[in-house]
Amino acid sequence: MPLFADPDQVMRMPELRQAIPLSETRLRQLITLGKFPRPVRLGARAVGWRAGDVRAYLEGLAKEDAERRAGLSKKRGPAPKSLTTQRATPA
């Protein structure tokens, strides 16, 4: 089954790390900061992530990136002068 084919599919950490190329430590930091979906408890010592939640996270990142890129292209003015043409005079 392709990754994210079923939004109710539960992904364990190894599958999650294939989809999101971040370390386990960084993923847990993002969860703590509220920037990544919280896992669902599967048992006393097991958790997983819903594929639909992970897909929504990735789509949100893509949307933010597209908006950021669109904003940058609109805000760009003339190219800055080269540092070689802006020489400081000795004091």
- pLDDT tens string for the chain (91 positions)? 456 678 889 999 999 999 889 999 999 999 999 999 999 999 999 999 999 999 999 999 889 888 888 877 665 555 556 555 555 556 5
Q: Confirm whether 73 is domain-assigned.
A: no
Domain with 52 in it: 10-67
For the chain, how far is it from start to end, CA to CA, in angstroms?
69
Q: Confirm whether 62 is domain-assigned.
A: yes
Torsion angle, CA of 22/26/28/30, rounded to 10 degrees? Answer: -100
Q: Confirm whether 18 is domain-assigned.
A: yes
Contacts of 10 by beta carbon, 8 Å cutoff, 6+ apart: 40, 42, 48, 49, 50, 51
pTM above 0.75, yes or no: no
Longest dimension (CA), the chain: 71
Query: What's the domain count of the chain?
Result: 1
